[in-house]
């Protein structure tokens, strides 16, 4: 099979496109012949050696895929060769085939394309976990979604709207702000403007946002503490800005605010049935027409480095996918 290999830390263009034998599924695993793989910003961080997961060399990035089951390992039940599935492998997505644990493989919902399915599991699971489980989102609240045009941001806007709350999104260009409005954000702000926290407060009658969904970190996190409502929850999703911020404890005290970590991977690994239950709830939202993975563009597998350059250059609204 064709596969992209990371043989040393560097940039996406340093990956090596190679031929390797297909992996063999072990006990409790299945082999997926892939049709698509979703791209995520942390793929770039992993290639650069800046992500918390550091596989041994050579490794292949890619954590959400779709395709058909090609082979089953010992002890697998409930799956059949030929099933049309999406999956969450532990890497290996930038290839023509990958292996995933059977409990992280699910039937593709009716009417969902392979490209949409590859853009569905990771960002939507993360956003559901953040807003529903960690953020304890309540009807009538206001949510501020930073980087609303990103993959996780787009998922968060849709899921928040499905919860019946008001959504304010932030984005750094007019095209991205228009995209956020199309997804359902009622108000959109430019977080490149220095006075954006005042804008959030003005939109909320001076109260601030009850929940702030922050995959950016850095200055965006710092400024978010100025426009969070009393008793608000500031959700730490990631640090695409490149800087991991800190907060003075007195600010948390004076606002009665909570800084809440959202580490979907830990919950996935430590809570049996969590991924399956979250997938069930997200499938219900898909079937109700309340969420739709926005795949802006697809690239053939051999153009993975070009696709990642688009992602790194922040020229993407929604998700990108590789196709095989």
Query: Do residue 127 and residue 260 come from a single domain?
Result: yes
Query: Do residue 115 and residue 130 come from a single domain?
Result: no
Q: Is the pLDDT of residue 53 over 90?
A: no
On whether residue 280 sits in a domain, the answer given is no
On whether residue 277 sits in a domain, the answer given is no
pLDDT tens digit sequence for 101-138: 999 999 999 999 999 999 999 999 999 999 999 999 99
On whether residue 288 sits in a domain, the answer given is no
Query: Do residue 205 and residue 314 come from a single domain?
Result: no
Smallest CA-to-CA distance from 124 within 297, 294, 240, 311 is with 294
pLDDT score, position 51: 87
Q: Is the pLDDT of residue 52 over 90?
A: no
Domain end residue (candidates: 226, 250, 265): 265
Alpha helices in 51-195 (DSSP H): 114-118, 121-128, 151-162, 174-183
* Whether the Cβ atoms of residue 93 and residue 37 lie closer than 8 Å to each other: yes
pLDDT score, position 62: 97
Query: Do residue 148 and residue 179 come from a single domain?
Result: yes
Q: What average pLDDT does this structure show over 77-99?
A: 97
**Residue appearing with tokens 């005042």:** 198
For the chain, the C-alpha Rg in angstroms (whole number) is 20
Q: What average pLDDT does this structure show over 259-277?
A: 95
Beta strand segments in the chain, E: 2-5, 16-19, 29-38, 65-72, 84-87, 97-101, 105-107, 142-145, 166-171, 187-190, 209-214, 228-236, 258-261, 295-300, 319-323
Query: Do residue 129 and residue 243 come from a single domain?
Result: yes
Q: What average pLDDT does this structure show over 156-179?
A: 96
Query: C-alpha distances in angstroms, 220 versus 42, 76, 206, 225, 236?
Result: 18, 45, 19, 9, 11
Q: What average pLDDT does this structure show over 276-300?
A: 97
Query: Do residue 157 and residue 207 come from a single domain?
Result: yes
**Cis upstream peptide for 58 (omega within 30°):** yes
pLDDT tens digit sequence for 220-255: 999 999 999 999 999 999 998 889 999 999 989 989
Query: Do residue 144 and residue 239 come from a single domain?
Result: yes
On whether residue 13 sits in a domain, the answer given is yes
Q: Is the pLDDT of residue 87 over 90?
A: yes
Q: What average pLDDT does this structure show over 57-84?
A: 97
On whether residue 276 sits in a domain, the answer given is no
On whether residue 272 sits in a domain, the answer given is no
CATH code at position 235? 3.40.50.720
On whether residue 256 sits in a domain, the answer given is yes
Alpha helices in 36-184 (DSSP H): 41-48, 114-118, 121-128, 151-162, 174-183
pLDDT tens digit sequence for 175-211: 999 999 999 999 999 999 999 999 999 999 999 999 9
- The pTM is what? 0.94
* Whether the Cβ atoms of residue 154 and residue 145 lie closer than 8 Å to each other: no
Query: Do residue 203 and residue 297 come from a single domain?
Result: no
Smallest CA-to-CA distance from 157 within 139, 140, 172, 170 is with 170
> Which structural domain range is residue 153 located in?
123-265
Smallest CA-to-CA distance from 112 within 283, 320, 274 is with 283
Residues 153 and 170: their CA atoms lie apart, in Å, by: 9
Mean pLDDT, the chain, rounded, equals 96
Give the 3-state secondary structure of residue 186. coil
pLDDT tens digit sequence for 271-282: 999 999 999 999
Residues 90 and 138: their CA atoms lie apart, in Å, by: 33
Q: What average pLDDT does this structure show over 93-107?
A: 97
pLDDT score, position 96: 98
CATH code at position 42? 3.90.180.10
Residues 84 and 65: their CA atoms lie apart, in Å, by: 11
User: What would the two tokens of residue 193 be?
Assistant: 């403007």
Question: Count of domains in the chain?
Answer: 2
Query: Do residue 133 and residue 260 come from a single domain?
Result: yes
Query: Do residue 101 and residue 232 come from a single domain?
Result: no
């Amino acid at each position: 099979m064709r596969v992209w290999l990371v043989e040393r830390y560097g940039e996406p263009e340093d990956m090596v496109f190679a031929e390797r034998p297909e992996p063999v599924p072990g006990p409790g695993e299945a082999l997926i012949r892939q049709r698509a793989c979703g791209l995520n910003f942390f793929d770039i961080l992993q290639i650069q050696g800046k992500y918390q997961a550091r596989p041994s060399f050579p490794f292949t990035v890619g954590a959400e895929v779709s395709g058909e089951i090609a082979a089953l390992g010992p002890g697998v039940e409930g799956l059949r060769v030929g099933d049309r599935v999406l999956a969450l492998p532990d890497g290996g997505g930038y290839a023509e085939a990958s292996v995933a644990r059977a409990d992280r493989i699910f039937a593709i919902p009716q009417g969902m394309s392979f490209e949409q399915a590859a853009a569905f599991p990771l960002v939507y699971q993360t956003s559901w976990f953040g807003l529903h489980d960690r953020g304890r989102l309540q009807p009538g609240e206001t949510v501020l979604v930073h980087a609303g045009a990103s993959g996780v941001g787009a998922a968060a806007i849709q899921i928040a709207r499905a919860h019946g709350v008001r959504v304010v999104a932030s984005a750094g260009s007019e095209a991205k702000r228009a995209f956020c409005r199309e997804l359902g954000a009622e108000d959109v702000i430019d977080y490149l403007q220095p006075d954006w926290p005042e804008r959030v407060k003005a939109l909320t009658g001076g109260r601030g946002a009850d929940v702030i969904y922050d995959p950016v970190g850095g200055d965006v996190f710092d400024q978010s503490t100025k426009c969070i409502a009393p008793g608000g929850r500031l959700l730490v999703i990631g640090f695409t800005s490149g800087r991991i911020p800190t907060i003075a404890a007195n600010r948390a005290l004076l606002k009665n605010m909570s800084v809440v970590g959202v580490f979907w991977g830990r919950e996935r690994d430590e809570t049996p049935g969590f991924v399956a239950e979250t997938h069930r709830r997200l499938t219900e939202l898909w079937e109700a027409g309340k969420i739709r993975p926005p795949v802006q563009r697809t690239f053939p597998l051999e153009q993975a480095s070009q696709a990642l350059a688009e992602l790194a250059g922040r020229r993407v609204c929604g998700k990108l996918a590789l196709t095989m």
